[in-house]
Structure 1
């Protein structure tokens, strides 16, 4: 029986750079950083408030096919890959703090039916959403166009 989600993978362009971004900028902590064989690096980070969920930072590489690796790298270069959704206590404050650290935002904090949301990119170009959640009901979405 499945009990929870324990690992998610995020495609990155450079593991060292992404490890620094996720730890130094976003406040995650390194969980594992191991070489498994000559050409596979297993690197995970966790958030201190949710250490049971590991984020695997990985690059497109074998055993993926050459065609898929090339397609993934094109998607990364275009900034077309999704990343993580991050819950925040205060979206405006987090936006200001991360902007001061050089994080690129695609959308400043905006009121939504489900809370306040801002859209940013990690240092590999992945889309990441920050959400300050609030209680909502289905009728809160009446007329909402995104």
Structure 2
């Protein structure tokens, strides 16, 4: 989080919004609690409702020993993953289907060169995936990952 300068004094920020439009769809009940110190910023809570009756809860902190890095826990619970994925892909056409819920939890990290989710547990369409997923920041690099069912 190098783009956000460290706080010169201990800082506690709480922000909320009933609705924010993003990608043509409403993100609802957005809430974030931030804590800043002279060394780093911490997201004590980030919570919102995304399309697809999806609840996202995350928390984390910048890592003072690694430049431009951030890590923390994330939990995603979606009652209609088709609508969520369609929104993430920029699609507005979603067909009604009998869909099982999607639940994802893990520990995310962001550095200068990659985004990753460790200790990943994803309950998808009645099955469970566990593992690690890693995406390079530079798009020309190939994505790496490993999963086990």
TM over 0.5: no
Q: Normalising to structure 1: TM-score of the pair? A: 0.35
Q: Normalising to structure 2: TM-score of the pair? A: 0.35
